[in-house]
């Protein structure tokens, strides 16, 4: 590989200052929110789809891997360039291109921050519903590639339910529009195939997203319980009563303590868990729903229920949840966030077993998660600097995923597979299942230069690629995934 020639060619497309090759710059793009790192050879920051297409053609001509990157908030190592190559960053492609209110659709560029879309249409009484807790930082391109969820996806549905069309650049540089403003386009559901494909099928360069009318009214409650079990049972009972809250989130005692230390929200220091519950919709009837939820929480011995009376109070109730993961930094230098799913009814049982596993491995776990979806987010707290500790953390993380699968659940609720979950795919899928996925990938992106070694286990070939990065000394810290 002649780096000078490739740098020159890339600079001709985007301009010299948007091609990064200095090791200090590359390091900034070597990580995401997981504990893995690897350096790209080049980072390119395009401004248009045409530039993306030309970058892809150059990378392909040189046989280089291409890794799209949004904001790097992913938890599964999806944006880690394990095979080096060209990273395409979308920080300059963040425009809202069109807002079509009569059709309730917006067309945006992939680097747009999730929350910025809702902010752009709030004045017209609309919002973009999928709201990862990282929504102030993550990009819509990353959300589509990961099929992200979020607190309000319980009632509103995940990203896949809100995307009508995509402009994509294929591995040979072809620019393609798939889907469109009509809800049910004939032909294969290519939009469906691209959503959640983690950059392995193509580069997303425009997104046609649904806009949802803002609800007329919202009620937000915070219920505090003595135990996780009481809170978990209340979750099941609320849904069983026929109430589908817009959001139903849980936090355990460890997380509450970290949040309280950071934000002073008045969480009692001896409580076991809290539920953050929100219902929204037409004003008429919302108080009845709130009363049902109140009664159920009391039935499961909630010791205190707070209701937001103003927008400020609502924001304060949400503040703890939205910033909980950051607050964990007060408890340990590192955390390893797992993302399993269990049927809601199994929450009390699985959380108790998870607790037993934490004790067995001698590592604390802080839970903050989308309880209404049964989507667990145990954060294993540890210190990467302690020799051998990360290997134990990974083992515990794996056991938690097995627990979820044994309970009838799955290995990822919303964060995706990336490199983190590759080894667990066979827990869910047979070799025949995985082969069908490989065939689909080979049909859409046959040369495998698009985000290689992600999502589908490819055996020794990718193992070698990733070990090559390690041998070159460019992967650091938590790289035991090879």
Ligand X SMILES: Cc1cc2nc3c(=O)[nH]c(=O)nc-3n(C[C@H](O)[C@H](O)[C@H](O)COP(=O)(O)OP(=O)(O)OC[C@H]3O[C@@H](n4cnc5c(N)ncnc54)[C@H](O)[C@@H]3O)c2cc1C
The C-alpha atoms of residue 231 and residue 234 are separated, in whole angstroms, by 5
Residue 134: which region, alpha, beta or left (left: phi > 0; alpha: psi -120 to 50)? alpha
Q: Does 441 help bind ligand X (rule: CB under 6 A)? A: no
**Residues within window 291-350 making contact with ligand X, judged by CB under 6 A:** 325
- Out of 59, 121, 145, 253, the only residue in the binding site for ligand X (CB under 6 A) is 145
> Which CB, 33 or 231, lies closer to ligand X?
33
Q: Does 81 help bind ligand X (rule: CB under 6 A)? A: no
> Which CB, 120 or 138, lies closer to ligand X?
138
Distance (Å) of CA 230 to CA 244, 279, 351:
19, 21, 12
> Which CB, 90 or 336, lies closer to ligand X?
90
Per-residue tokens: 116: 């910025």
**Residues within window 239-278 making contact with ligand X, judged by CB under 6 A:** none
Whether the CB-CB separation of 252 and 366 falls below 8 Å is answered with yes
The C-alpha atoms of residue 388 and residue 298 are separated, in whole angstroms, by 45
- Out of 150, 179, 374, 452, the only residue in the binding site for ligand X (CB under 6 A) is 150
The C-alpha atoms of residue 216 and residue 211 are separated, in whole angstroms, by 15
Q: Does 49 help bind ligand X (rule: CB under 6 A)? A: no
Q: Does 165 help bind ligand X (rule: CB under 6 A)? A: no
> Which CB, 40 or 141, lies closer to ligand X?
141
User: What x-and-dash track marks residues 100-129 binding ligand X by CB under 6 A?
Assistant: ----------x-------------------
Q: What are phi and psi of 372, to 5 degrees?
A: -60, -30
- Out of 112, 129, 204, 211, the only residue in the binding site for ligand X (CB under 6 A) is 204
Half-sphere exposure of 140 (CA within 13 A, CB side): 32
Residue that the structure tokens 């519903």 belong to:
129
Beta-carbon contacts of residue 34 (< 8 Å; ≥ 6 apart) = 74, 75, 76, 77, 80, 418, 419, 420, 478
- Out of 46, 72, 173, 196, the only residue in the binding site for ligand X (CB under 6 A) is 72
Q: How far is the CB of 448 from ligand X (least distance, A)?
A: 14
Q: Does 134 help bind ligand X (rule: CB under 6 A)? A: yes
> Which CB, 162 or 415, lies closer to ligand X?
415
Stretch that binds ligand X, among 137-145, 182-190, 219-227, 427-435 (CB under 6 A): 137-145
> Which CB, 14 or 67, lies closer to ligand X?
67
Q: How far is the CB of 78 from ligand X (least distance, A)?
A: 3
Distance (Å) of CA 262 to CA 170, 188, 328, 368, 385:
45, 49, 9, 15, 24
The C-alpha atoms of residue 360 and residue 339 are separated, in whole angstroms, by 20
> Which CB, 415 or 421, lies closer to ligand X?
415
User: What x-and-dash track marks residues 389-428 binding ligand X by CB under 6 A?
Assistant: -------------------------xx-------------
Q: Does 478 help bind ligand X (rule: CB under 6 A)? A: no
Q: How far is the CB of 299 from ligand X (least distance, A)?
A: 28
Beta-carbon neighbour count of residue 365 at 10 Å? 25
Q: Which of 172, 86, 40, 67 is nearest to 445 (CA)?
A: 172
Q: Does 378 help bind ligand X (rule: CB under 6 A)? A: no
Three-state DSSP state, 247: strand
Whether the CB-CB separation of 146 and 179 falls below 8 Å is answered with no
Three-state DSSP state, 295: helix
- Out of 46, 81, 85, 132, the only residue in the binding site for ligand X (CB under 6 A) is 132
> Which CB, 140 or 350, lies closer to ligand X?
140
> Which CB, 27 or 353, lies closer to ligand X?
27
Q: Does 369 help bind ligand X (rule: CB under 6 A)? A: no
The C-alpha atoms of residue 78 and residue 33 are separated, in whole angstroms, by 10
Q: How far is the CB of 81 from ligand X (least distance, A)?
A: 9
DSSP string, 316-343: HHHHHHHTHHHHGGGT-SEEEE---B--
- Out of 45, 55, 129, 138, the only residue in the binding site for ligand X (CB under 6 A) is 138
Total of chain residues touching ligand X, rule CB under 6 A: 36
Which residues sit at the interface with ligand X, rule CB under 6 A?
32-33, 67-75, 78-79, 90, 110, 132-134, 138-139, 141-143, 145-146, 148-150, 198-199, 203-204, 325, 414-415, 451
């Amino acid at each position: 590989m002649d780096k000078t020639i490739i740098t020159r060619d890339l600079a001709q497309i985007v301009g010299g200052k948007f091609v990064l090759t200095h090791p200090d710059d590359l390091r900034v793009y070597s990580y995401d929110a997981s504990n893995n790192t690897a350096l790209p050879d080049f980072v390119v920051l395009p401004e248009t789809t045409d530039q993306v297409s030309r970058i892809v053609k150059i990378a392909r001509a040189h046989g280089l891997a291409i890794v799209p990157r949004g904001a790097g908030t992913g938890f599964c190592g999806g944006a880690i360039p394990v095979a080096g190559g060209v990273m395409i960053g979308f920080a300059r492609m963040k425009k809202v291109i069109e807002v079509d209110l009569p059709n309730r659709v917006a067309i945006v560029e992939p680097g747009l921050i999730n929350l910025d879309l809702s902010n752009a249409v709030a004045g017209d009484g609309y919002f973009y519903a999928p709201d990862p807790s990282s929504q102030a930082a993550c990009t819509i391109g990353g959300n589509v590639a990961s099929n992200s969820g979020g607190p309000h996806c319980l009632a509103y549905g995940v990203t896949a339910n809100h995307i009508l069309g995509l402009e994509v650049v294929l591995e040979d540089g072809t620019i393609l529009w798939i889907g469109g403003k009509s809800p049910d386009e004939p032909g294969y559901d290519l939009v469906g195939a691209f959503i959640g494909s983690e950059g392995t099928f193509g580069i997303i360069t425009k997104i046609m997203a649904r806009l949802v009318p803002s609800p007329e009214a919202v009620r937000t409650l915070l219920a505090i319980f003595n135990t996780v079990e009481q809170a978990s049972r209340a979750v099941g009972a609320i849904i069983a009563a026929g109430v589908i809250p817009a959001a139903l989130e849980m936090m355990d005692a460890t997380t509450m303590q970290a949040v309280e230390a950071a934000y002073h929200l008045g969480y009692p220091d001896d409580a076991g868990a809290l539920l953050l519950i929100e219902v929204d919709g037409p004003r008429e009837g919302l108080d009845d729903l709130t009363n049902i939820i109140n009664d159920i929480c009391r039935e499961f011995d909630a010791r205190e229920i707070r209701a937001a009376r103003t927008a400020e109070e609502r924001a304060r109730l949400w503040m703890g949840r939205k910033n909980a993961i950051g607050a964990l930094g007060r408890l340990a230098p590192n955390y390893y966030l797992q993302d399993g799913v269990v049927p809601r009814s199994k929450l009390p049982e699985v959380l108790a077993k998870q607790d037993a596993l934490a004790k067995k491995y001698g590592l604390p776990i802080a839970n903050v998660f989308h309880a209404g979806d049964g989507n667990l987010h145990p954060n294993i707290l540890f210190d990467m600097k302690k020799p051998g500790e990360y290997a134990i953390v990974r083992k515990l993380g794996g056991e938690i995923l097995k627990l979820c699968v044994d309970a009838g659940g799955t290995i990822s609720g919303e964060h995706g597979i990336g490199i983190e979950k590759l080894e667990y795919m066979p827990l869910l899928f047979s070799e025949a299942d995985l082969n069908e996925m490989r065939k689909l990938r080979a049909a859409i992106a046959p040369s495998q230069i698009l985000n290689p070694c992600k999502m589908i286990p490819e055996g020794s070939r990718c193992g070698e690629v990733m070990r090559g990065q390690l041998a070159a000394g460019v992967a650091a810290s938590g790289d035991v995934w090879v």
